[in-house]
Chain A
Amino acid sequence: MLNSINLSSKDIRRLLQAVRERLHLSGFEIALIIVGGANLNVMNIVARTTKDVDVIAQTEGEGDELTIRSPLPFPEPLTQAIETVARDFNISSDWMNAEVAAQWNVGMPDTILDDLTWRKYSALKVGFAGRQTIISLKLFAAADRSPASVHAQDLVALRPTDDELLHAADWVKTQDASEHFSSLVDDVIRYVKRDRE
């Protein structure tokens, strides 16, 4: 069985596969975008365990027609599938959640639809956010918490280029107009530049 505190890449894939199978049973299909530790793990960007799978958006359509919206509230079949999988694997029912979707209230990175890596689990289509989106969200999270947080560590592990950090900083600073926040962002960037080598 899995440990809800430490989900490995293998665990996450297994859980997503289980959700797919439960959704398939109920004849429901959905496409979601995942960010956070689960994203880093499955994409082999950072080899660390995570406690949950963060859903930031629900998508509709494909290619040029692709649109996104807040995943909240989760559609009932998805909620049921998540809860059933939690029951079956004996993990917390919030193992897959959309807390990060609060970002919709203040604005999403403009790169959210760029470089998505799709994994199709039949009835469940999962888009893993692209590199620039991850860097932007991680920079925001690190500035919001502390330069020593796990988010800053993830950012270091991502080894972002100066251009990527600059692009991310432009967006992050729109999230909070205060001077204090702007200086926190700069602190994180300095920390990352120092430790990324």
Chain B
Amino acid sequence: MLREIGNKLKQAAEEALIDACWRQWIVLGASGTEIHKRQATSIVDVEQLILFSSLLRRKEQRLELFLNWFAVVGAPLVSLQRIQGLTDRFAAEEKSQIALFAQMALSAGDRRWKTIAKSDAEIPGSPKLKGPSIPNLLHPGALMLRFRAGFGLGAKADLMTILVGQCGHPRTVKHLVEAAAYRETSVREALRDLTLAAFVVKSNNRPAEYIARSPWHTDTTSVRETSGSFYSEGNAELSRSSWKTLWPVLSFLHDCMTLFDTTDSEELSEYIFYSKFRDVLETYRDDLVLLGIVLPHTVPTNSDFSDVWTKIMHQSVDAVTDWLAENL
């Protein structure tokens, strides 16, 4: 029974994650439109994409081909510091999955990846590239790579991406630190410079909020008055770029997948199965709710424990996969 429930939920989480990766790779120019016509509409967080694609490559081989393609054509646009920061949140075995991309990038000539590459990583033999010779930087969803290509890798380019992707909504430092996955000091320093250069406007309220503004806008209006100005001066293409903080969504689904995988290989008791799911749910609950995902309540009930939790697990996974399908 547990195995059956676990397999069903694992499949749902896995399919949603693979679909999310596919849709983002297509935005960057990877070949695959014949299978997946829907492209992501939000800005691609390339480090997250590489990380989750690396974790899923054994489940979906074409992700490995996309990784290999991007390692050849786009590795210089990938932040090593950021990818290491993100992988630190994973267990050692999962961290090691990134070594393949690093090895591919190193083989393609980007020496920065030497520190995390593993020479024994199995690079697919004679890989057939699955995309053009340069990533599609002009797609609204490729804004992060576009800024990096123009201004170089670093917190400033990424913060501009995230702020432009807020579609006129001001954000606090706390929000930006979480979204950018940089250290708070790096974010503050970058925001100071971006504010000085008038790419960003800082509010006077506490906590301070920041908003992207048009670089062609020269007066010193407030955050609220500036709201939307980035989009009002003919930047129609940029106005289609929206930033979604996908980390908790993707991580929740990945952790569910890992948990449900164990029901296939280990003898988990019914209690531990539900309790570990609860661990996963509570880890991400606040972040998922902040994104507007409606999760089931875990209120006391007189019904049978397993019936209640089976329902909660299904409802939770469904809520997150539905949100991802609609918002990516």
> A residues bordering B, Cβ < 8 Å?
1, 17-18, 21-22, 25, 84-85, 87-88, 90
Residue of A22, A25, A84, A88 contacting most chain B CB atoms (<10 Å): A88
The interface size of chain B toward A, counting residues with CB under 8 Å, comes to 15
- B279 to chain A: which residues have CB within 8 Å? 84
A140 → chain B closest CB, angstroms: 35
* B278, CB-defined interface residue at 8 Å: yes
- Take A1-B305, A87-B278, A88-B278 as given contacts and tell me if A22 and B300 are in contact as well, using a CB distance cutoff of 8 Å: no
> Is B92 in contact with chain A by the CB < 8 A criterion?
no
Residues of B within 8 A of A85 (CB): 275
Q: How far is the CA of A96 from the CA of B276 in the complex (A)?
A: 21
Stretch from B62-70, B156-164, B266-274 at the A interface: B266-274
Quick one: closest A residue to B272, CB to CB? A21
Q: Are B271 and A21 in contact (CB under 8 A)?
A: yes
Minimum C-beta distance from A109 to chain B (A): 34
B302 within 8 A of A: yes
Chain B residues 271-305 with CB under 8 Å of chain A are 271-272, 274-276, 278-279, 282, 298-302, 305
CB pair B271–A1 under 8 Å, yes or no, is no
- Closest residue on chain B to residue A22 by CB atoms: B275
Quick one: closest A residue to B305, CB to CB? A1
B301 touches A18 (CB 8 A): no
Contact B302 A22 (CB under 8 A): no
The count of A-to-B residue pairs whose CB atoms sit within 8 angstroms is 27
Q: What are 5 inter-chain pairs, A to B, with CB distance below 8 A? A: A1-B305, A18-B275, A21-B271, A22-B272, A84-B279
Residues on B with C-beta less than 8 A from A84 are 275, 279
Could you tell me the distance between the alpha carbons of A11 and B32 in the complex, rounded to whole angstroms? Answer: 55
Structural contact, B305 and A17, CB atoms closer than 8 A: no
Chain B residues with CB under 8 Å of A21's CB are: 269, 271-272, 275
Residues of A contacting B: mostly: helix
Residues of A within 8 A of B271 (CB): 17-18, 21, 88
Residues of A within 8 A of B299 (CB): 90
A51 to chain B, nearest CB (A): 16
Alpha-carbon separation in the docked complex, A18 to B305 (Å): 13
Given the complex, which residues of B lie within 8 Å of A18, measured CB to CB? Answer: 271, 275
CA gap between A100 and B269 in the complex, in Å: 32
Interchain nearest-CB distance for A150 vs B (Å): 25
CB distance from A17 to the nearest CB of B (A): 7
Known contacts A87-B278, A88-B278: does B302 contact A25 (CB below 8 Å)? no
11 additional A-B pairs beyond A25-B276, A90-B298, beta carbons within 8 Å, are A1-B300, A1-B301, A18-B271, A21-B269, A21-B271, A22-B275, A25-B272, A88-B271, A88-B274, A88-B275, A90-B299
B258 → chain A closest CB, angstroms? 14
**Distance of A71 Cα from B99 Cα, bound (Å):** 46
Task: Give the residues in chain A near B282, CB-CB below 8 Å.
Answer: 87
CA distance A84 to B275 in the complex (A): 8
Nearest-CB residue, chain B, relative to A88: B275
CB neighbours of B272 from chain A (8 A): 21-22, 25
Bound: A85/B278 CA distance, A: 11
Q: Whole-angstrom distance from the CB of A18 to the nearest CB of chain B?
A: 5
Query: Binary interface profile of B, 288-328, with partner A (CB < 8 Å = 1, else 0)?
Result: 00000000001111100100000000000000000000000
CA separation between A25 and B274, bound complex, in Å? 13
Give the chain B neighbours of A25 by CB distance below 8 A: 272, 276
**Which residues of B93-144 are within 8 A (CB) of A?**
none
Chain B residues near A87 (CB, 8 Å)? 278, 282
User: How many angstroms from the CA of A88 to the CA of B274 in the assembled complex?
Assistant: 8
In Å, the complex CA distance between A29 and B156 comes to 50
Q: Which residue of B lies closest to A17 (CB)?
A: B271
Tell me how far the C-beta of A86 lies from the nearest C-beta in chain B, rounded to whole angstroms.
11
Of B272, B276, B282, B301, most A-chain CB atoms within 10 Å: B272
Task: List, in ascending order, chain B residues with CB within 8 A of A88's CB.
Answer: 271, 274-275, 278
Nearest Cβ in chain A — how far from B232, in angstroms? 49
A88 to B279, CA, bound (A): 9
